[in-house]
Structure 1
Amino acid sequence: MRRARGYRTPRGRAARPGAAPPPLPPPPSRRSDGAPRHFRPDTSCSRSCGSGSGGTPRVRRGAMRPLTEAETRTVFEKLGRYIGENIQLLVDRPDGTYCFRLHRDRIYYLSEKLLKVAASIPRESLTALGTCFGKFTKTQKFRLSVTALDFLAPYAKFKVWVKPGSEQSFLYGNHVLKSGLGRITENTAQYQGVVVYSMADVPLGFGVAAKSTQECRKVDPMAIVVFHQADVGEYVRNEDTLM
């Protein structure tokens, strides 16, 4: 004869067949909004992002703002490699006062007059303002853009001129070789930031000197004398991502 199967009690002992099961625990009491009393909403986003009207979190990522002290030091150190103390001439100009602003990880150079106009535009609709000097990478390193060339060239302290036959190679993103070097500023140190010109004094881009002026006189013709950083050919090659 088969034995009837019964349920087990919470302690693991088999109960008598046909016995009534124990009553279930009562449900947790509810709050006035219908949620259980032990329910705790996650308010971490509201604390970190802030809340606007109606409890909507405000996201400040990408908002136009002045540079912090660390960001200003990073940007000015990079500009100082090319124009030295002439950075002051970029800020105090005869046509007004200019400043730098950070917007969506990019550094923009603009006048205070334009800044007041841009302040009235919602940050969601603001794409760019002034002239883009470069951008910060994910590791917080500042990368100078070719769009700053027009402001670096007039104040550059060290310059390099390339021969006509080497202009196209540089505009395709290649380094400058000794065979393509036309002239170089005297007393240029190794790893000094330089602005690259054509022999007709047209700014083509900028880079870093791989050799000093004295070393350039005796190196091999195929040796690199200027490391490429940026060139005006990027307006065509990187048209979609330049701005």
Structure 2
Amino acid sequence: MRPLTADETKTFFEKVARYIGENIRLLLERPDGLYCFRLHKDRVYYMSEALMRHALSFPRHALISVGTCFGKFTKSGKFHLHVTALEFLAPYAQHKIWLKASMEQQFLYGHHVLKSGLARVTENTAKYQGVVVYNMKDVPLGFGAAAKSTAECRHADPTAIVAFHQADIGQYIRSEDTLT
């Protein structure tokens, strides 16, 4: 477990900033103490500084994970967010999409969001902006990228894709058989 390098930090914060903007600061300086991001086996973990100090007493090969996994770096150096980061991204999300009940299950099966299933969208959402997807009861379901801006969504065909699926809470169930 080690701190992120300058390049890794830049790549990681650019990806997270697509969803929560300048609110990254709120993830690091929380009322319950200071938090940090650490890299272990190409995965970025989010943890309190106290937990990080305790984890340093273990050898690297003995650690499986520590804290909450935010995502992983690919071999090419790109960063992919995991659905486990949703709990921390959702409260600070700047751009949100709410789904109708009929589209909720489709999104949880890994499908993109269609205009016909869109209930609401945050104003001034730009094209390809990171969005957090909610149901109508304000429960975060996952995240993705806006395929159309807010203005384009108003005039889109009902079968047009308005948000690309990236991760959702249904992934736990879909990947259950591969975990054993």
Q: Which has the larger radius of gyration?
A: 1
The whole-number CA distance in structure 1 between the counterparts of 2:178 and 2:161 is 28
Tell me which residue corresponds to 2:42. 105
- Given the alignment of the two structures, is residue 219 of structure 1 paired with residue 156 of structure 2, yes or no? yes
Cα deviation, residue 124, structure 1: 1.4
Please, what is the CA RMSD of the aligned residues?
1.2
Deviation digits for residues 187-236 of structure 1 (CA, Å, limit 9, x no counterpart): 11111110000000000000000011111111110000000010001111
| Aligned twin of 1:203 | 140
Determine helix, strand or coil for the equivalent of 1:170.
Answer: helix
Could you say which structure has the higher helix fraction? 2
Pairing 1:86–2:23 present: yes
* TM-score (ref. length: structure 1): 0.72
The amino acid of 1:202's aligned partner reads V
Q: Deviations over 1:66-116 (max 9, x none)?
A: 000000000000000000000000001110100000000000000010011
Residue 95 (structure 2) pairs with residue 158 (structure 1): yes
The 2-side partners of 1:214 and 1:120 are apart by 53
Corresponding residue for residue 51 of structure 2: 114
Deviation string 1:7-56 (CA, Å, 9 cap, x unpaired) is xxxxxxxxxxxxxxxxxxxxxxxxxxxxxxxxxxxxxxxxxxxxxxxxxx
**TM-score of the superposed pair, with normalisation by structure 2:** 0.97
Structure 1 stretches lacking a partner, 5+ long: 1-63
Q: Are positions 1:181 and 2:118 aligned together?
A: yes
Q: 2:24, 2:77 → 1: CA distance? A: 21
Structure 1 residues 241 and 117, CA gap change in structure 2 (3 angstroms): farther
Give yes or no for the alignment of 1:70 onto 2:24: no
Deviation at 1:184, TM superposition (A): 0.2
- Unmatched 5+ residue regions in structure 2? none
Distance apart, 1:237 and its partner CA? 1.6
User: Aligned residues: percent identity?
Assistant: 70
Deviation at 1:238, TM superposition (A): 2.5
In structure 2, distance between residues paired with 1:161 and 1:68: 36
CA distance in 2, matches of 1:124, 1:82: 33
Length, aligned pairs only: 179
Superposed displacement of residue 155, structure 1: 0.2
2:131 paired residue number: 194
> Hey, what's the Cα distance between the residues in 2 that align with 1:240 and 1:93?
37
1:236 equivalent to 2:173? Answer yes
One-letter amino acid of the structure 2 residue matched with residue 68 of structure 1: T
2: CA distance, partners of 1:209 / 1:148: 18
Could you list the structure 1 runs, at least 4 aligned residues long, displaced by more than 3 angstroms after superposition: 239-242
Aligned mate of 2:61, from 115, 121, 124: 124
Matched residues in 1 for 2:176 and 2:94: separation? 29
What is the one-letter code of the residue matched to 1:161? W
CA distance in 2, matches of 1:107, 1:123: 14
Cα shift readout 1:144-201 (whole Å, capped 9, x = no counterpart): 0100000000000010000001111000110000000000001111111100000000
Q: What is the CA–CA distance in structure 2 between the aligned matches of 1:195 and 1:87, rounded to whole Å?
A: 15
